[in-house]
């Protein structure tokens, strides 16, 4: 397999395309006026404590107060007993394997937080829709190979490093250097096979960085940003190192030099992989990436067999429906269904990653009666999701033939970044017919005529299509309305009105 990353940098946004054998696998977008908040550290102030929800709302200087659940509170050892737990989780913020447990689930949040209290917090989930950011008080800072954990002394290794010999080696080196440097560290997946001196350099970097953060915490006030995450181009180097990326091409000199400097300091082995793209064609045109992004915004995904899947996103969940379409198979219906579902499983895993779908995902595969076929489809889905860096869980096929899947969400989906609600339908996905709007207008005219019996006429302002409907298909009803109300009814088309908009002016 040939893996590479293409980075397109402009003054207003940075985009990174992760490619595998020429096929777009993942698209990351960061806009200068809309930076992602995950990983940022703030000094916040508690504005409200809700014992019933076991949570608090914290003002961190954003438009909307952020959410802090009791389970995300790392309490001081002398106030609540701390234990250790294994968290098999690796996302963009780093790897968490063995980590100080946060407050026990039964902890009373009112015993930990009170209104007006200042607290240092880190964003673990960006604001989305009407929901504010989600916070934790367990501060962690990732580097190339490690994650630094504040106010802890734990040494851990990513659960994705499976060889026990390598896990032991990493723990021994980290424990040895911890005695000198202090702090708590988790070895990320990229640390596998890394030389001890490189790990030590990474620990020194994180230790110096945390000292700087600690000083800023002391000097800051509530609402201040204490530490901001790396820009996208540096996160690419940090997060994708060791994942088989053969080449990283950048189309602008500034981010290229920034990445070279970062690589020289922390990732010298990646220097040969960096390349400044100087071609005449836009870098994303090399693999028709712009076209693939447009396709990823459609709810319809065609399968090579002739089948297709439909993807619908809502605030509560994402639903994916599989259909055979034009594919009728060569033998029998059961085989046709099985092959369509098998192909759809791979396509779904690809689309979930490409679109960065998160939260609850319900997949409605075509009904299969053969248990072996059901398991084969689940295995196919699982095998393709193994390449996804986000944590996913998949349920067995339910009695209704559905597969429930969850995927950890740490940033907005592609649709939320690139799109907004339709101004006409407001996100409903449909609008009223012109006929329905005409009849609403008729009812409103009758209402106004009865309420104001002394008026002589009415002016109807509406979209051009609605006015055309009134003068054409509804002309006889409009004439009947004039006779019934004894009013002179005038029509005026408004270019800026959508189909559902209209106004009644009394004359």
Sign of CA dihedral 20, 25, 30, 36: negative
Q: Which residues make beta-bridge pairs with 31?
A: 13, 34
% the chain with pLDDT above 70? 91
% the chain with pLDDT above 90? 55
Which of 176, 41, 184, 209 has the alpha carbon at shortest distance from 99? 184
- What was the pLDDT predicted at 410? 64
pLDDT: which is higher, 138 or 387: 138
How is domain 3-32+233-290 classified at the CATH fold level?
Nucleotidyltransferase; domain 5 (3.30.420)
Q: Residue 39 and residue 124: Cα distance in Å, rounded?
A: 6
pLDDT: which is higher, 391 or 175: 175
- What was the pLDDT predicted at 95? 37
* Residue 288: band (very low, low, confident or very high) from pLDDT cuts 50, 70, 90: very high
pLDDT digits (tens, 9 = 90+) for 79-109: 333 333 333 344 444 434 434 444 444 678 8
pLDDT: which is higher, 97 or 460: 460
pLDDT: which is higher, 105 or 268: 268
pLDDT digits (tens, 9 = 90+) for 21-57: 999 999 999 988 766 788 899 999 999 999 989 999 9
Q: Is the pLDDT of residue 75 over 70?
A: no
How is domain 434-506 classified at the CATH fold level?
Hypothetical Protein Ychn; Chain: A, (3.40.1260)
Give 385's contacts (C-beta < 8 A, 6+ positions apart): 349, 352, 392, 394
Give the chain's largest Cα–Cα span: 95
Q: Residue 427 and residue 410: Cα distance in Å, rounded?
A: 23
Most confident of 8-22, 201-215, 396-410: 8-22
Q: Residue 100 and residue 184: Cα distance in Å, rounded?
A: 10
227 neighbors 141 (Cβ within 8 angstroms): yes
Burial class from Cβ neighbours inside 10 Å (0-12, 13-18, 19+) for residue 348 reads: buried
Q: Is the pLDDT of residue 404 over 90?
A: yes
- What was the pLDDT predicted at 86? 35
- What was the pLDDT predicted at 316? 85
pLDDT digits (tens, 9 = 90+) for 144-157: 789 999 888 889 99
Question: Domain locations in the chain?
Answer: 3-32+233-290, 41-228, 297-418, 434-506
First-residue to last-residue Cα distance in the chain: 74
136 neighbors 124 (Cβ within 8 angstroms): yes
Task: Tell me the mean pLDDT in the region 321-346.
Answer: 82
What tokens were used for 131?
A: 């929901």
- What was the pLDDT predicted at 96? 40
Q: Residue 325 and residue 340: Cα distance in Å, rounded?
A: 9
Q: Residue 55 and residue 88: Cα distance in Å, rounded?
A: 24
Q: Residue 323 and residue 252: Cα distance in Å, rounded?
A: 43
- What was the pLDDT predicted at 394? 92
List strand residue ranges (DSSP E) for 39-183, in order. 41-50, 55-59, 66-69, 84-91, 94-100, 118-125, 134-136, 140-142, 146-149, 155-157
- What was the pLDDT predicted at 182? 86
pLDDT digits (tens, 9 = 90+) for 114-134: 999 999 999 998 887 778 899
Among 204-213, 262-271, 457-466, where is mean pLDDT lowest? 262-271
Query: Which CATH code fits 41-228?
Result: 2.40.50.140
What pTM does this model have?
0.69
Task: Tell me the mean pLDDT in the region 213-217.
Answer: 92
């Amino acid at each position: 397999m040939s893996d590479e990353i293409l980075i397109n940098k402009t003054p207003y946004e940075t985009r990174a395309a992760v490619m595998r054998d020429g096929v777009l696998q993942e698209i990351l977008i960061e806009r200068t006026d809309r930076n992602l908040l995950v990983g940022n550290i703030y000094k916040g102030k508690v504005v409200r404590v809700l014992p019933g929800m076991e949570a608090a709302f914290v003002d961190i200087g954003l438009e909307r107060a952020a959410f802090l659940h009791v389970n995300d509170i790392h309490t001081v050892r002398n106030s609540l007993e701390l234990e250790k737990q294994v968290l098999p989780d690796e996302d963009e913020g780093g790897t968490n394997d063995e980590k100080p447990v946060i407050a026990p689930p039964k902890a009373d949040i009112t015993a930990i937080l009170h209104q007006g209290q200042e607290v240092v917090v880190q964003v673990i989930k960006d604001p989305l829709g009407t929901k504010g950011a989600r916070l934790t008080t367990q501060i962690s800072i990732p580097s190339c190979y490690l994650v630094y954990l504040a106010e802890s002394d734990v040494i851990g290794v990513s659960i994705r490093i499976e060889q026990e010999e390598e896990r032991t080696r990493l723990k021994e080196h980290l424990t040895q250097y911890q005695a000198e440097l202090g702090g708590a560290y988790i070895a990320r997946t990229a640390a596998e096979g890394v030389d001890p001196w490189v790990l030590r350099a990474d620990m020194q970097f994180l230790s110096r960085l945390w000292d700087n953060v600690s000083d800023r915490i002391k000097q800051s006030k509530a609402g201040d940003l204490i530490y901001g995450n790396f820009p996208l181009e540096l996160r690419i180097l940090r997060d994708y190192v060791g994942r088989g990326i053969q080449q990283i091409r950048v189309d602008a000199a500034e981010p290229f030099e920034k990445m070279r400097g970062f690589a020289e300091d922390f990732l010298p082995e990646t220097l040969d992989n960096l390349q400044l793209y100087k071609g005449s064609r836009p870098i994303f045109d090399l693999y028709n990436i712009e076209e693939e992004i447009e396709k990823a915004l459609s709810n319809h995904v065609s399968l090579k067999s002739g089948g297709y899947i439909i993807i619908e996103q809502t605030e509560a969940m994402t639903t994916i429906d599989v259909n055979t379409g034009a594919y009728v198979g060569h033998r029998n219906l059961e085989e046709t269904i099985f092959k369509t579902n098998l192909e759809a499983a791979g396509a779904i895993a690809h689309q979930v990653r490409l679109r960065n779908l998160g939260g609850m995902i319900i997949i409605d595969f075509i009904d299969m009666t053969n248990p072996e076929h059901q398991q084969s489809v689940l295995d196919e889905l699982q095998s393709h999701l193994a390449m996804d860096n986000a944590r996913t869980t998949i349920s067995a096929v339910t009695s209704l033939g559905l597969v429930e899947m969850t995927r950890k969400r740490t940033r907005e989906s592609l649709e939320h970044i690139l799109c907004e609600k339709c101004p006409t339908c407001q996100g409903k996905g449909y609008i009223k017919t012109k006929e329905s709007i005409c009849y609403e207008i008729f009812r409103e005219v009758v209402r106004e005529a009865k309420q104001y019996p002394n008026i002589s006429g009415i002016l109807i302002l509406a979209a051009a299509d609605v006015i055309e409907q009134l003068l054409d298909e509804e002309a006889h009803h409009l004439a009947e309305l004039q006779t019934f109300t004894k009013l002179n009814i005038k029509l005026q088309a408004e270019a800026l009105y959508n189909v559902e908009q209209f106004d009644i002016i009394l004359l």
